[in-house]
A = this chain, B = another copy of it.
Amino acid sequence: MSTAISPLAPASVPDMPAVAGVRLATAAAGIRYRDRTDVLLAVLDEGSTVAGVFTRSKCPSAPVEWCRVKLKRGRARALVVNSGNANAFTGRTGKQATTLTASIAARAIGCKPDDIFLASTGVIGEPLDATKFDGVLGTLARTATPDGWMAAAKAIMTTDTFPKVATATVKLGNTKVTISGMAKGAGMIAPDMATMLAFLFTDAPIAAGALQSLLKNGVADTFNAVTIDGDTSTSDTLLAFATGAAKDAPKISRAGDPRLKAFTKAFNAVLADLAEQVARDGEGARKLVEIIVEGATTKASARRIAMSVANSPLVKTAIAGEDANWGRVVMAVGKAGEPADRDKLSISFNGIRVASKGARDPSYDEAEVSAAMKNPTIQIRIALGLGKGRDRVLTCDLTKEYVAINGDYRS
């Protein structure tokens, strides 16, 4: 399998500042991989709150089920993430593994197992040997430090080709607070909530209910608007933690608090940044594809049409071939099952209109369009001419490398 970094990786990586109340540590526990880290422990100050969104899969992983239950309490002291094994479809032993992991972590930190949040990513169906965390988590709890964000983002990678981090600093009241996050993506990614694994941390004092609203709203146009292959994972988990260590900042109890305006904007920007990085690291991706649908009857209708285009293998392979094949875009609009009028439809690629009012655009110039398709970023704009519904979805192309990666992964 190629380990080359995606050509769509961001040109620069931000300096990741400490987030007060958060300490990180990683280790190589030998879950599956050799010669790399595969466990992350994030230790949170007492009083930290937590919010989360998860896969809508009917066959969720054991850690997803664990988190769903614990989330109701709204409190967290640590996050344990392992890569290499998803602990999904592992039956009763999977549940036992989550319980054991949480109690090992709780002992290491000195808290209740209920305060531990868990996420696992990797192979489905293999039993996870949680005894491997024994000892390891104790060491990590002692050595955790406020920096090490890049190391943390690396420890949670599977087929990702680059670690994904994002950060923002913003004023809450008169106090500067930080929002930092990391994500892993690659394959089995389709929006049905949050995508794969992503974790946000802030030192702002935000109550669990307010944080949950913030997260739920923020995810709709970020992680839920990204698709790699239309395949929703069993393990998708997005957790946000607020330590409240920024003591001078106003305590926020509801998402609608007007003092939260700048914070919400920064929070959403971090989500959007991480979500885009997931699209940029789609398995085998060589093009980042932005699909904008406008003039739909509603935003929800625009979303469904954009997703139909974004998940079409024929559209995605055409982009891999640098072919502005708008006929396939018409096909994907047509199959979405949403209101569309062929004779009002206009389509452009990277700003060049190729089709208008149900036929090839009169000004269509093959050479001009072909040149534009060489760009690593492709924007497909679809104007339906029916209403004011508009939406945007990010995806990537479908290349032979995607097939190679997924024809070889596992055994």
Q: Which residues of A line the B interface, CB within 8 A?
A: 55-60, 86, 88-94, 123-127, 187-188, 190, 192-194, 229-234, 311-314, 317-318, 320-323, 325-328, 330-343, 345, 355, 357-360, 366, 370, 398-400, 402-404, 406-411
Contacts and interface: CB of A to CB of B under 8 A. Distances in A.
B358 A231 contact: no
A302 to B, nearest CB: 14
Contacts of A60: 334, 342
8 contacts: A58-B339, A88-B327, A193-B331, A231-B332, A232-B331, A232-B334, A233-B331, A323-B410
B334 A57 contact: yes
B124 A409 contact: no
B359 A93 contact: yes
Contacts of A314: 187-188, 192-194, 229, 231, 406
A325 B93 contact: no
Candidate in A359, A406, A408 with the most chain B CB atoms within 10 angstroms: A406
Contacts of A404: 400
Nearest to A406: B317
Contacts of A334: 55, 57-60, 232, 234
A92 B362 CA distance: 14
Candidate in A312, A327, A404 with the most chain B CB atoms within 10 angstroms: A327
Q: Kindly report how many copies of this chain are found in the complex they form together.
A: 2
A169 B327 CA distance: 40
Nearest to A404: B400
A329 to B, nearest CB: 9
Contact of A403 (B232, B322, B398): B398
A343 B317 CA distance: 37
| Interface of chain A: mostly helix, strand, loop or mixed | loop
Nearest to A332: B231
A192 B314 CA distance: 8
A59 B406 contact: no
Contact of A359 (B90, B231, B233, B402): B90
Contacts of A357: 91
Given A328-B124, A409-B323, A342 B59 contact: yes
Contacts of A192: 314, 325, 327-328, 331, 335
Contacts of A59: 330-331, 333-334, 340, 342, 345
B331 A57 contact: yes
Nearest to A369: B411
Given A57-B331, A323-B408, A403-B403, 12 more contacts: A57-B334, A58-B340, A86-B327, A88-B330, A89-B342, A125-B355, A231-B313, A231-B331, A314-B406, A370-B410, A398-B407, A400-B400
Contacts of A400: 400, 403-404, 407
Contacts of A407: 317-318, 320-321, 323, 398-400
B409 A399 contact: no
Given A125-B326, A330-B59, A409 B321 contact: yes
A355 B355 CA distance: 49
A331 B64 CA distance: 14
Contact of A231 (B194, B229, B312, B341): B312
Contacts of A326: 125
Contact of A123 (B90, B320, B327): B327
A320 B406 CA distance: 9
B327 A125 contact: yes
Given A58-B334, A89-B355, A359-B93, A313 B406 contact: yes
A193 B410 contact: no
A403 B399 CA distance: 6
